[in-house]
Structure 1
Amino acid sequence: MAMEQRQELKQAEKTEVANYFNGTGFDRWNRIYSESDDVNKVQRNIRIGHQKTVDDVLAWLQERGDLSAMSFCDAGCGVGSLSLPLAAMGAGSIAASDISAAMVAETKRRAADAKLDLSRLTFTTSDLESLQGCFHTVICLDVFIHYPQQAAEEMVRHLCGLTQESLLVSFAPYTPLLAVLKRIGQLFPGPSKTTRAYTLREDGIIKAAMGCGFEPIRSKLNQAPFYFSRLIEFKKI
């Protein structure tokens, strides 16, 4: 495939994701990542699984001790599931960014409602590849499910270039069982469909980070019905 065609496909993926999360997807995921009872069984289990991943990240970060001198980038912040508790823990600064302006606005609203120190938070609407800055730690949770393998690996390499110390990412890992479930799900189109969902090969994600001078130091697989996510922490060598 020619470079121009690849760029067009990549931009189409980004546009699809942005339009979804600025439209019907915003209401759906805003409810999932809240305490609302207006969710079905599948959505409730996704909420539980995602919270497990967030809790693991927060626990790993707490092991570092005082976070007040550290800067963080929450790449693909959604509605602030990670940024808000990280701010409450006293993180020095947090750059919360998402491809969806609606998601970023909701993160800012929730931060204000929680009476967090907004001087420690910055809010930006951006896709992952357009993010700029230099941070102690970059974190990207459950975002790569919206992108195919090659695009996700390119995003990993870009995020590595933004961090001085560590990178934490989570994604839906490829397994034969998930591949079968995905094919079955594609047979039943309907209003519950979201954007295309991709499972990624873990070795590709690791290779992309290692090529940028990062090594994996720990990982964990979180599972709940309808939620599978591999969390990996990379440290700069």
Structure 2
Amino acid sequence: MKNIIFDIDGTLWDSTDVVAESWNEAIWEKAGIKANLDGDKLKKLFGKTMDEIGRLMLPDLDDEKRAEVCQACYDYEDAYLEKNSGVFYDGVIDTLNELAKDYNLYVVSNCQVGYIETTLRYANMTDKVKDHLCYGDTGLHKGETIKLLMKKNNIDEAIYVGDTQGDFEACEMANIPMIFASYGFGKVENPAYIINDIKELPALMAKINTK
């Protein structure tokens, strides 16, 4: 097993406080709604697709207005993140650098275009992650996006590192095992593997590859 695909939010970093601030501003300016979002509220939404988040966050807006406000949220978010990094979990950057010596690293996320690139830039990992895809690229369920990334890169087998039940279901759709990052935002029933700290991942991968 030489191919590892990572989720971002709740797996590599936590940007919810920064994103909440940007979305509150966007929603107020574009819809006149005081959303009062915070990091804890966004942790319950992150991992869903952009469209799902919009419906849950702004249920009283019609589809056209909701799409307009959500696009503003993502634009404001991109601007905020250009100046304010999310918080990487302890050991993430060192662990990714260690893994990149022996494994092919990829990223698949339910985010908008540009978010993965920003995360990798802050981690100084742009040249060490082989490829990435997101919901903004494909408009598809994460499982289908994983399959597209694997097909694009001629990957026969891979393992996914994520932190939510949605990640688990995506892995089932893509027919690949999941490593559950229990320190993240969500809970998962019966994952194939569990890590309680990102720094446990190199040893777990070595163990998987000796089976």
TM-score, scaled relative to structure 1: 0.37
Greater length-normalized contact order (CA 8 Å, ≥ 6 residues apart): 2
